[in-house]
Amino acid sequence: MTELGAKMGQGHDLAMALRAAYLAMHRCADAHLAAGGVTADQFVLLSLLAEGDSVTQRQLVRRAGSDANTVRAMLVLLEKRALVSRRPHPTDGRARSVCLTAKGRQTYERLWADSQPFRRRLLTAVDAGKRRTLVESLRRVAEAMK
């Protein structure tokens, strides 16, 4: 194999490793949150809503690194369960203002506690000294793929 070919193989390996790590983490997070009746992706939305009261769907999309249609569908599900509320934005007629209900905040805090073992497990997988480098590299990847 050529030297250039080997380099592209590196890219393939990195992509496969990122894929495997994410899928495994996602499965693990789902397992730790299933008892609370919430999926890992729903937990992501709840955590974004918990740190920043009243945000637009557009802001959720950007911060979750997700898609407008996906976020909307998830919010509809969460709204049916009375965990979030969506109201018309006070000044922008196009936007929706989303926030946690009291039940939603309560649920989120319980879920955060339930998922402590998951975060502990994730942290012990990587040496403390390498964590910052890892997060930094992941952010560079996310940035480069935009």
Q: Note whether 138 binds DNA by CB under 7 A.
A: no
Longest dimension (CA), the chain: 61
Locate the DSSP E strands across the chain. Answer: 55-56, 84-88, 96-100
Distance CA 92, CA 110 (A): 33
State the binding partner of 125 from a copy of itself, DNA, none, CB within 5 to 8 A by kind.
Answer: a copy of itself
- Tell the smallest beta-carbon distance from residue 3 to DNA (Å): 31
* Residue of 36, 50, 58, 63 that binds DNA (CB under 7 A): 58
Sign of CA dihedral 38, 143, 69, 84: positive
Closest to DNA by CB, 91 or 124 = 91
Distance CA 61, CA 145 (A): 16
Give the footprint of DNA on residues 67-126 (CB under 7 A): 67-70, 72-75, 77, 86, 89, 91-96
Number of residues that bind DNA (CB under 7 A): 30
State the binding partner of 95 from DNA, a copy of itself, none, CB within 5 to 8 A by kind.
Answer: DNA
* Residue of 2, 6, 12, 69 that binds a copy of itself (CB under 8 A): 12
**Which residues on adjacent β-strands are paired with residue 111?**
none
